[in-house]
Amino acid sequence: MELMSGNEAIAQGAWEAGAHIGVAYPGTPSTETLEAFAKKDGVYAEWCVNEKVAVEVGVGASAAGARVLSTMKHVGVNVAADPLFTAAYTGVGGGLVVLAADDPGMYSSQNEQDSHHYARAAHIPMLDPADSAEALRFTREAYELSERFDVPVFIRSTVRVSHTKTPVEPGPRAQAALKPYEKNAAKWVMMPAFAKPRRRDQLARVEALRAWAETCPYNEVVRRGDAVGVVCAGAVYQHVVEALPDASVFKLGCTWPLPAEALRAFAASVEALYVVEEASEYLTESVRALGIEAAPFAHPLPADGELTPGLVRAAFGLAEPPHAPTPEGLPGRPPALCPGCPHRLVFKELTRLKAIVTGDIGCYTLGALPPLSAMDTCVDMGASVSMAHGFELALAGTEHRPVVAVIGDSTFAHSGLSSLISTVYNRGGGTVCVLDNRTTAMTGRQGNPFNGETLQKRPSRELDLEGVVRALGVEDVRTVDPHDARAVRAALKDATGTDELSVLVFRAPCVLLDRTRKPAFLVTGACTACGVCPTLGCPAIAKDAGTGCASIDPGLCIGCGQCAQYCAFNAIEQPEGGSHE
C-alpha cells in the first residue's frame, strides 16, 4: 500500500498497462502525471510544444501499435480538440488514453470548463475516478477498453483528485507487445470517402459503448436508504457521502456514455433523486435528457467553484457540520512575482510607458496586479501577439498609446509563433516582448524548445529564438538584459517609437533555476520616503505606514539589485562584499 496523488496514480496505471510512450504539454493540475510517468522503467516521455501536437504524436504512436498516455489540463483539451475529434473516427492501434484535468475553482486557470462536454461531443468514453485507487485502476483498464472499442479513452480528474494523496495498491507491469502496423487507408486517412464509413463505424461503436455502460464495473450504487438518491461522479462523491450519510448514491465511474437503464432503475428505487456536480450542469442535463426527474434543491448549488460537504448540506437545507471559525484579521497574501524575477523591470517600464499591454498565460500574468498593474488583457495561450495585432488594426489612424504584447518563451513556442507568423504575413506593426526566463516556470520549471531541456534529459537541440523570429521576416529583433533598467527602458522606447514590427527578447533565467543568493540590500538613512521602490511590487520591499520610508526584508531579498536602480537618492545599498552584476 502506498500514498499516491491522483496524478501519480494515473501514471502508475498507464505504466502497469504497458504504456511506454507519454506525451504532453505541462499545465496545472495535470503536470505531475507525465513527470511521474517519465521516471518509470522502460518508457519514453516528452514535452511537446502544445497539446494538439502531443495528441497527434500520440495518435501516430498508437497507429504504429504502441500504448500511449497523453495528459493535459482542461484548456489544453481545447487546443487538442481537432485531432481528438477525428481520432474518435479513426480509432486506435495500441490503446490511447487522454487525461483531461479540470480545474473547478480556477486555482490556476483562466476559465472553469467541464471536459465531460468534450466526451459527449466527440463520442469518446470518459472515466471519472473519485480517488487515487480508482485513478490507477481506471487508467490501467482503460487501455483494454480503448483497444476493445477501437477508440481513445478520456480519464477525467479535477484538482482534488489530481493533487490529493490517497492509498493505492500498485501492481506489476503488463507486457503489452507492439501491435503490428498494417497499411489501412480506410481507417487512417480521413478524407471524405473514408471518413463517411468511419462515421457509421463510430455510430455502431457508440451503441456498443452504451450497452457496455449498463454493466460497466466502474459505476457503483451505494445503498443507504430509499428517501434520497444522489447521482454524482469524481471527487464530488467524497463530499456527498460525507455530507449525506443516509443517502443512497449512484457513483458514476463512467460519465460518458451514461448507463440509461441503470440510472432509471436507481431513480425508481428512491423517493427523490438529486444530481450533485460542481461548476457544471452536464450531469443534470444528461440525467433529465433520459427522462429522469431530478429534484430541485432547497437552496441551489453554487454555479461556480469547487464543492465542499458544507455546500452540499446547505443545498439540502441541512445545517453546516461543526467546524472551527476562520480566524479574523489575517493579512492578505496576494500572489506576486518572486524577488529577483527577471520580468519585473519589463512591467515597471511598460507602466512608465503607459503602454497597452496584451498579456499571455504564464507567471508573468502577475504583472497585471498592483502595484505594477501593467497588463490590459490575458485570454489564452498565444493570444498576446494576436490581440496586439487586433489592437493595432482597430487603432490605426488614431493617436494611441503604444501597443505591446508580452509572452513567455514556452508560450511563444506553444502558440505564439503561429500568431507572429500571421502578424508578419499581414504586415502588422507593434512590439512583441518575449520574456525568456529559460524555462516553463509557471507549471514547475519544465523544459521547452527554446531552452533545449527535454523531460527525460535526453540530448536535444536548443532552438535559436532570435534566429527563428528573423527567419519569419522580422527585421528589428533585439536581445535585452531584463535586470538592466536603463537597457529595458531604452529598448522599449526605441521599439514603440516606430511603426515597424519589433521583437524584444528579454533573456535571464528564472530565479528558481539558480537559487544562489547574493547579500541582501538594505535601506539607509538617506531614504526620503519618495515611494518609488515599493511600486516595483517586490515582496522583499515594505513601506513603513508611519514614516513612509522603505525597508528590505533580508530573508526575502536575493540581492538582485533591481530596486537600487530606481532609487534616485542612493539610499539602497548592498553591504560590503556584495555587488550587483
The Cα-based distances of 473 to 260, 376, 388, 467 in angstroms read: 57, 27, 18, 10
> Nearest CA to 542 among 375, 373, 371?
371
Angle at 445 between CA 442 and CA 450, to 5 degrees: 100
Q: By CB neighbour count within 10 A (0-12 exposed, 13-18 middle, 19+ buried), where does 460 fall?
A: middle
Q: Are 298 and 316 in contact (CB under 8 A)?
A: yes
Residue 519: predicted pLDDT: 94
User: What domains are there in the chain, each with its CATH number?
Assistant: 2-214 (3.40.50.970), 220-316 (3.40.50.920), 342-507 (3.40.50.970), 516-580 (3.30.70.20)
Q: For residue 6, how many other CB atoms are within 10 A of its CB?
A: 36
Collapsing DSSP states into helix, strand and coil, what is residue 504? strand
The pLDDT, as a whole number, for residue 321 is 77
Q: What is the pLDDT along the chain (581 residues), one digit of tens a residue?
A: 999 999 999 999 999 999 999 999 999 999 999 999 999 999 999 999 999 999 999 999 999 999 999 999 999 999 999 999 999 999 999 999 999 999 999 999 999 999 999 999 999 999 999 999 999 999 999 999 999 999 999 999 999 999 999 999 999 999 999 999 999 999 999 999 999 999 999 999 999 999 999 999 999 999 999 999 999 999 999 999 999 999 999 999 999 999 999 999 999 999 999 999 999 999 999 999 999 999 999 999 999 999 999 999 999 999 987 888 889 988 888 889 999 999 999 999 999 999 999 999 999 899 999 999 999 999 999 999 999 999 999 999 999 999 999 999 999 999 999 999 999 999 999 999 999 999 999 899 999 999 999 999 999 999 999 999 999 999 999 999 999 999 999 999 999 999 999 999 999 999 999 888 899 999 999 999 999 999 999 999 999 989 999 999 999 999 999 999 999 999 999 987 554 44
C-alpha cell at 261: 437503464
Residue 110's identity, in one-letter code, is Q
Q: Tell if the pTM clears 0.85, that is, is over it.
A: yes
Q: How far is CA 516 from CA 506, 508, 511, 513, in A?
A: 21, 14, 9, 9
Determine whether the annotation assigns residue 563 to a binding site: yes
| Residue 471 burial (10 A CB sphere; 0-12, 13-18, 19+) | exposed
| 341 among annotated binding-site residues | no
Residue 530 annotated as binding?
A: yes
What's the DSSP call for residue 415? Answer: I
Cα–Cα distance, 468 to 186 (Å, whole number): 38
232 labeled binding residue: no
The annotation status of 533 as a binding-site residue, yes or no, is: yes
CA distance 126 to 205: 14
> Is there a binding annotation on residue 510?
no
> How far apart are alpha carbons 74 and 80 in whole angstroms?
10
Query: Is 527 annotated as belonging to a binding site?
Result: yes
Instruction: Say how many CA atoms lie within 13 Å of 308 toward its Cβ.
Output: 8
Q: Is 567 annotated as a binding residue?
A: yes
Q: What is the H or E stretch that residue 100 is in?
A: strand 96-102
DSSP-derived 3-state class of residue 429: coil
Task: Tell me: cis bond preceding 29? Omega within 30 of 0 counts.
Answer: yes
